[in-house]
Structure 1
Amino acid sequence: MNILPDMTDNDSKNIKYSITKYLSMREHSCHELLQKLTAKGYNKVLCEERIAQFNEADIQSELRYAEMIVRSRVAKGKGEKIIRSELSQHAIAPELIDIAITEQEIDWDALAIQVAEKKFGRKPAKDWQEQQKRNRFMQYRGFSHEQIRAMKSMR
């Protein structure tokens, strides 16, 4: 005789509540929701089923999540490479990443100039070492070699 009640129904309701709570605060990727729910000790398969239901109902959207991340990171002065990397780590499909980035119509060269001027001012680098330091900073921020070169020629 099983004296413990079947927790699947109760867990399912708790998972639904948790997903609703998370999504009411901000957009989350499926990957992120799954991590948070399994960290709470919920069954992974049950969590995946519930997340899929939210996705099918368009309550959770990978594209909206990707768009939010792109807008947020561009506002922080991050380059395309670092944005793509972050979205890939959240298991966002490459085609959704492309859509989210192209929809924003970002001028990456202009953003690179803006970031560089905020960090270093308008003065040119005084020597080769300082120029290398600036290049490393811009690469760390996620800008490509081409964008860094374009930034130097546009100044």
Structure 2
Amino acid sequence: MTDNDSKNIKYSITKYLSMREHSCHELLKKLLAKGYERALCEHRISQFSQADIQSDLRYAEMIVRSRVSKGKGEQLIRNELSQHAIEPELIELAITEQNVDWDALALEVSQKKFGNKPAKDWHEQQKRNRFLLYRGFSHEQIRALKSVR
């Protein structure tokens, strides 16, 4: 561990965070890939977190906004945030702060992909259901669409 490594880590974290929000997990992964020592990286990241320069909550909020705008469902968003080691409480907070009507979003995504026409047969309905499941919508949200279509 050299003083130069510490400065390089600080520079790298600053550079990453100047481009967009990053989770602690993501920053650590990037720094370790550069060959820096884990303990030093964790220490530097915690300094940025304590100074509120890096925030897992802001990262989670950014991901939620981004994925909702792309028509992704709640389950997909939760899974993605979990993979970035975001705490469940922060995931819940980020999702509830956005006040997303998931049923309306599922309807919008379905209409954008398939139009307003009802499915012509069972196979077509299953294709639509699989598409919405793949996008991260729950079975309940998909069932709710059947009453609207």
TM-score scaled by length of structure 1: 0.95
- Provide the residue aligned with 2:124 in structure 1: 130
Question: For each residue in 1:36-80, what CA deviation from the matched residue of structure 2 results, as whole angstroms up to 9, or x when unmatched?
Answer: 000011111100000000000000000000000000000000000
- Provide the residue aligned with 1:61 in structure 2: 55
Check if 1:12 corresponds to 2:6: yes
Residue 65 of structure 2, aligned match among 66, 71, 76: 71
- Provide the residue aligned with 1:114 in structure 2: 108
- Provide the residue aligned with 2:36 in structure 1: 42
Residue-pair matches, total: 149
1:8: how far off? 1.6
SS at match of 2:85: coil
Runs of 4+ in 1 over 2 A off after TM superposition: none
CA distance in 1, matches of 2:2, 2:64: 37
Amino acid at match of 2:140: E
CA distance in 2, matches of 1:153, 1:26: 40
Residue 80 of structure 2, aligned match among 78, 86, 110: 86
Q: Structure 1: state its 5+ residue gaps.
A: 1-6
CA distance in 1, matches of 2:38, 2:116: 52
TM-score scaled by length of structure 2: 0.99
1:85: how far off? 0.1
CA distance in 2, matches of 1:83, 1:20: 26
- Provide the residue aligned with 1:144 in structure 2: 138
Check if 1:29 corresponds to 2:23: yes
- Provide the residue aligned with 1:3 in structure 2: none
CA distance in 2, matches of 1:48, 1:103: 29
Q: Structure 2: state its 5+ residue gaps.
A: none
Amino acid at match of 1:149: R
